[in-house]
Chain A
């Protein structure tokens, strides 16, 4: 039998706001296991009467960060688990988790590239783990992150993405703002479409390794658009969000 993924009680080390609706929770694990960028943890909450709720959340931290995992969680207004994380948890609290989980939507430096990462909103989280691992490994693999947001204020990890994109190591960070744009915005201002995908592909050649994470409509549009644009379906890995309240 494989080693079971047992539940463990993690301690909240730090809570960091990312945007108005998104926070990053740093959890210290008594039995930390090296994960792969792109994997997730399951979280389980238990009420006094034994009632339980579980959800899965992507790991934002790279495996080079040992002893803890960072989970970046969007607050879903009518959700059950994410409002608890946002509104109740404080540093020092404990939370039950198990993981790491998932073996396909993962990237390690020896997977190579070129890499095309496409995110819709909080779908950026597992891709951020990949970018952080890429940076930690000083891998100069040609990489583009194409990320779709409603407004500039919804951009998660904005400062860090600006910094990573500013290093001349082959990473390009491209945002599209679909609902509203700040004055002077020169970037994309529409949903991801064929011409945008063609622009993203241009510097990466015809055979990039592609990871797409976000809401179903975005993932479908991006994956179908890339395959229609000649990218091999076998090179396109997707993770689609269900309701993760």
Chain B
């Protein structure tokens, strides 16, 4: 094994912030103040009066929530760092919504449920271990930075799972299906990593 590769003449702009903020940028990422939009297709428009969110799969009885019922659940604010596999990280993003714990409390989970597939208006899916969704780690957000979540950013509501790359934070989310086995979702079937932990730089299938 040779020495590490060095790019001739590269010193780096090091746009990363200083101090402990720099320690919050995962490997291979850079900090941005923008909020880039990345989606595989057109932005769906979902009227709130027909919006619905269903928890099904390995549950005793599936449950469907209307928009009013979602808003009626206890909400809280989260301030979290988010990292997109396309290399940007945005620190201290402010969201408001309902924790996945509170959504799962609407159903009785089958003990065999160890994974979930989040699904969205528009047909998008992404898979997650249940362990990454519970205990206050994930939420369904309907407000960003004090405003209703814009459609381009996943409004009226999106899943947010800050501890994983942001493609796991399904925009336009409309359900969670609990499963026993891990079932790869949209990007996970197209060469992206099955779990997507930014701190382990799990970008693509086969990484780590």
Contacts and interface: CB of A to CB of B under 8 A. Distances in A.
Interface of A: 1-5, 7, 9, 42, 44-48, 50-56, 78-80, 84, 88, 93-96, 101-105, 216, 219-220, 223-224, 226-227, 233-234, 236-243
Contacts of A220: 37, 43, 152
B72 interface: no
Given A4-B207, A88-B10, A242 B122 contact: no
Nearest to A44: B28
B7 A80 contact: no
Contacts, number: 126
Contact of B5 (A54, A78, A94, A103): A94
B130 to A, nearest CB: 23
Contacts of A52: 12, 27-28
Interface stretch (B46-54, B82-90, B105-113, B137-145): B82-90
A216 B42 contact: no
A216 B204 contact: no
Contacts of B199: none
Interface in B171-208: 186-187, 189-191, 203-207
Which 4 residue pairs spanning A and B have beta carbons closest together? Answer: A242-B36, A103-B190, A4-B206, A223-B42
Interface residues of B, number: 44
Contact of B7 (A56, A95, A101): A95
B60 interface: no
Given A46-B6, A226-B42, A236-B41, A243 B32 contact: yes
A216 B41 contact: no
B147 interface: no
A236 B39 CA distance: 11
